[in-house]
């Protein structure tokens, strides 16, 4: 086993390659998947894709070590968020090192974890592993954790029961024991176009959409007011925001269509559909109002994503292992964002989030990861190889 310094150096080399792949969620991740497949094949490790329905994207699974129970799943997503319109001072697709930082899209969220896993690959292969290490690299995490469920189902069906799952989201190499869930919805309001001076002849989709968005605004305020002061989350309780709005074609035309998308983030134990019951009733009432004047119109509410929350596990195996390897004796920590940890937990796996980099850098222009975080991640990986090889 090499030194952690050498492992960190190799991880940065691999991270350079990974950042160069534009794996923005709207596109394909297959070029990166092929790169990883080649690395695995070079070491004699078989891998398996779990593709999307169109075959344009894929999850990737691989196992190193004996085909027995008690292994660890190293889980990470391959996709990144867009750079469009962001004022980058470096090329987001070229890993740029300066002042102890590595700049590039996905450097922190979360290709550094993938790079560390791949840098450790030859050492996993060479080590006398007593328990297996499973790679589980997903697609479309950034747009609702859409890719992981099929892969998790395959793991549950085909892999001897792992003891724990490590989701390598950026946490400054500290264990995160819980996260909120996220449900997102697309609302399409359809009216009837007419000249804006002749409001009696048409139905403005925008005006009715505003009514629905106002309901959501009041609901978000109500949810905030009902938050449990003892909650470990920040912000406490459920939060709701309208993230996208697109409606109308001209200022003097009653809008035929308005589409808006909102998300609801909920703590463990909260039912998002129960919290939205009043909104669904309001949408049904507005649908009837529109149809009364424009039968071809109405309101359509579609559930885009439904990512479960991740609840802290009392005496959780995954958290105990991660804290031991990271040297983490800190307090219980939870996160306001959603990740794939809740999906693994829902499938019955003991799960923890722990990875290099800071979530504060995620999705930002000039995203970066501190070199020191790569080094800490390398130390973690060295200890993981030792632990999985021990009797």
pLDDT digits 0-9 by tens, 293-322 = 999 999 999 999 999 999 999 889 999 999
Q: ω before 110 within 30° of 0 (cis)?
A: yes
The tens digit of pLDDT for each residue in 38-53 reads 999 999 999 999 999 9
131 contacts: CB under 8 Å, gap ≥ 6: 65, 66, 68, 69, 70, 71, 72, 163, 388
Q: DSSP 3-state helix, strand, coil percentages of the chain (rounded to 5)?
A: 35, 25, 40
Q: Give, as one character, the DSSP assignment of residue 312.
A: P
CATH number at 234 reads 3.30.70.360
pTM, two decimals, is 0.92
Are 302 and 322 part of one and the same domain? no
pLDDT for residue 2 is more than 80? no
Does the pLDDT of residue 23 top 90, yes or no? yes
By percentage, how much of the chain surpasses pLDDT 90? 98
Q: pLDDT band at residue 123, thresholds of 50, 70 and 90? A: very high
- Looking at the fold, whether 119 and 241 belong to one and the same domain comes out as no
Q: pLDDT tens-digit profile of 322-350?
A: 999 999 999 999 999 999 999 999 999 99
Q: What is the pLDDT of residue 292?
A: 97
User: Long-range CB contacts (< 8 A, 24+ apart) of 229-235?
Assistant: 231/267, 232/178, 232/332, 232/334, 233/178, 233/180, 233/267, 233/334, 233/335, 233/336, 234/336, 235/336
**Distance, CA of 276 to CA of 381 (rounded, Å):** 43
Residue 286: per-residue pLDDT: 98
CA distance 258 to 245: 7
Q: Which of 306, 333, 363 is the last residue of a domain?
A: 306
**Within this chain, do residues 172 and 41 fall inside the same structural domain, yes or no?**
yes
Same domain, 232 and 293: yes
Write out pLDDT tens, residues 164-186: 999 999 999 999 999 999 999 99
At residue 67, the pLDDT reads 95
Rounded to whole angstroms, the Cα distance separating 391 from 262 reads 50
**375 an active-site residue?**
no
Give yes or no: residues 68 and 214 share one domain: no
Q: What is the CATH number of the domain that holds 137?
A: 3.40.630.10
Note whether 254 and 339 are same-domain residues.
Answer: no
Same domain, 275 and 350: no
Please indicate, yes or no, whether residues 209 and 268 belong to a single structural domain of this protein.
Answer: yes
Q: Which of 109, 140, 141, 340 is catalytic?
A: 141
pLDDT at 1 over 80: no
- Mean model confidence pLDDT for the chain: 97
pLDDT value of position 391: 83
Domain containing residue 201: 181-306
Final residue before a domain boundary, out of 256, 289, 306: 306
Same domain flag for 205 and 146: no
Q: Which of 287, 306, 325 is where one domain is finished?
A: 306
Is 385 found in the same domain as 298?
Answer: no
pLDDT band at residue 198 using 50, 70 and 90 as cut-offs: very high
Q: Which residue among 22, 37, 79, 140 is the active-site one?
A: 79
Q: What percent of the chain stands above pLDDT 70?
A: 100
- The answer to whether 351 and 164 have CB atoms below 8 angstroms apart is yes
| Number of compact structural domains in the chain | 2
List pLDDT tens digits, range 64-113.
999 999 999 999 999 999 999 999 999 999 999 999 999 999 999 999 99
Residues 96 and 113 in one domain: yes
* CA 9 to chain centroid: 27
Give the residue carrying structure tokens 């791949």: 118
Q: Give the pLDDT mean for 250-260.
A: 98
Task: State how far the alpha carbon of 320 is from the alpha carbons of 81, 315, 336, 341, in Å.
Answer: 31, 7, 21, 16
DSSP β-bridge partners for residue 61: 48, 136
Q: Is 141 one of the catalytic residues?
A: yes
Q: What is the pLDDT of residue 134?
A: 98
Judge whether residue 193 has pLDDT over 90. yes
Please indicate, yes or no, whether residues 169 and 115 belong to a single structural domain of this protein. Answer: yes
């Amino acid at each position: 086993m090499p030194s952690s310094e050498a492992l960190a150096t190799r991880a940065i080399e691999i991270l350079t390659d990974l950042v160069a792949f534009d794996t923005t969620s709207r596109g394909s991740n297959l070029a990166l998947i092929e790169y990883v497949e080649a690395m695995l094949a070079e070491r004699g490790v078989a891998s398996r894709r779990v593709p999307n329905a169109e075959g344009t994207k894929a999850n990737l699974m691989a196992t190193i070590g004996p085909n027995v129970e008690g292994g660890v799943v190293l889980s990470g997503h391959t996709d990144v968020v867009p750079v469009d319109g962001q004022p980058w001072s470096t090329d987001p697709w070229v890993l740029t090192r300066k002042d102890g930082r590595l700049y590039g899209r996905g450097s922190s969220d979360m290709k550094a974890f993938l790079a560390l896993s791949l840098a450790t690959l030859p050492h996993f292969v060479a080590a006398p592993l007593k328990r297996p290490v499973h790679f589980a690299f997903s697609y479309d995490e950034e747009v609702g954790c859409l890719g992981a469920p099929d892969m998790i189902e395959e793991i549950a069906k085909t892999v001897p029961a792992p003891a724990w799952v490590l989701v390598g989201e950026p946490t400054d190499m500290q264990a995160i024991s819980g996260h909120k869930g996220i449900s997102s919805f697309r609302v399409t309001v359809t009216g009837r176009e007419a000249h804006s001076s002749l409001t009696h002849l048409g139905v403005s989709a925008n005006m009715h959409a505003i009514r629905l968005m106002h309901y959501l605004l009041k609901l978000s305020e109500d949810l905030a007011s009902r938050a449990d002061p003892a909650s470990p989350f920040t912000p406490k309780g459920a939060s709701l925001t309208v993230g996208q709005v697109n409606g109308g074609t001209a200022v003097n035309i009653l809008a035929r269509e308005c589409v808006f998308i909102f998300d609801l983030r909920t703590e463990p134990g909260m039912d998002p559909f129960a919290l939205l019951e009043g909104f669904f009733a309001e949408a049904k009432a507005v649908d009837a109002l529109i149809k009364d004047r424009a039968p071809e119109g109405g309101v359509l509410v579609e559930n885009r994503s439904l990512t479960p929350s991740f609840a802290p596990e009392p005496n959780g195996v995954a958290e105990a292992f991660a804290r031991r390897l990271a040297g983490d004796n800190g307090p219980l920590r939870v996160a306001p964002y959603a990740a794939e940890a809740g999906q693994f937990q829902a499938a019955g796996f003991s799960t923890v989030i722990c990875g290099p980099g800071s979530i504060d850098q995620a999705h930002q222009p000039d995203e970066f990861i501190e070199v020191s975080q790569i080094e800490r991640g390398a130390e973690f990986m060295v200890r993981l190889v030792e632990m999985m090889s021990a009797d």
